[in-house]
Amino acid sequence: MFIAFLLWGCSDIVLTEQSDSAPVAADASAADEWGDSPQPDCTRGFAGHYANLQENHPDVEADPDAPVQNDPHLLDWWDESRMVFERYDATLDFGEGWWPVDEGFAGDPDYFAVRWTAWLYVYESGVHEFQLAASDDFWFLLKDSAWETRHVQAGIHSYDSQTFALELQMGVYPVDIRYAHRNGPSGLSFRTLGDGLRFCFPGE
């Protein structure tokens, strides 16, 4: 298995390959977890950071009708203490029955959370469509002049496909994607529809 190393803040992270197009080592001058803005021929993909939510976490097996937290920054699901591994994900189209985290603890692999970072390369200004099916919580954050939550599908819900559209100006933007599975069947499929966009692996 091919291994690539990404500079994340001040520590090296091992990313395991999921496709034939592996990212290269990050530039040591990278100022933050996204690194420098990518070139148009960037490596497609995401840096995935996988956390385990054990069965004693108060948010797992929660009531689907409970109040929904729409701000992922107020949740502890991606805290460093919960992180299990990091890897390069070429795509976020995993489909149903997706169980990536299993440490052998009680409740595994039922509950987990993932944070992906990437650059979004927008080649054409206009309305761009995305397709999403997620069970359960999903957030899509993008930074222009400041961080904005551009799409939310939070809470415990079934794996139902939907399409949403975002107005985007031509440019390159860091993105932060959050996902958590907390109850019932698991699944995630997130992808762009049409041309004009590319998700670039951070830190090249």
**Is pLDDT of 27 > 80?**
no
**What is the pLDDT confidence band of residue 17, given thresholds at 50, 70 and 90?**
very low
**Is pLDDT of 90 > 90?**
yes
Number of domains in the chain: 1
Q: Is the dihedral of CA 122, 127, 131, 134 positive or negative?
A: positive
**What is the pLDDT confidence band of residue 148, given thresholds at 50, 70 and 90?**
very high
What's the rounded mean pLDDT across residues 126-153? 96
Domain that holds residue 31: 3-200
d(CA 116, CA 102): 19
pLDDT in tens, 50-62: 999 999 999 999 8
Report which of 108, 168, 107, 124 is spatially closest to residue 143, judged by C-alpha positions: 168
Average pLDDT, the chain: 85
Q: End-to-end distance of the chain based on CA atoms, in angstroms? A: 20
**Is pLDDT of 64 > 80?**
yes
d(CA 128, CA 125): 9
Q: Kindly report the CATH number assigned to the domain that includes residue 48.
A: 2.60.120.260
**Is pLDDT of 190 > 80?**
yes
154 HSE (CA, 13 A, CB side) = 20
**What is the pLDDT confidence band of residue 37, given thresholds at 50, 70 and 90?**
confident
* Range of 9-13, 29-33, 160-164, 199-203 with top mean pLDDT: 160-164
**Is pLDDT of 97 > 50?**
yes
Q: What angle do CA 140, 144, 145 make, to 5 degrees?
A: 135
Phi, psi of 181 (to 5 degrees): -115, 125
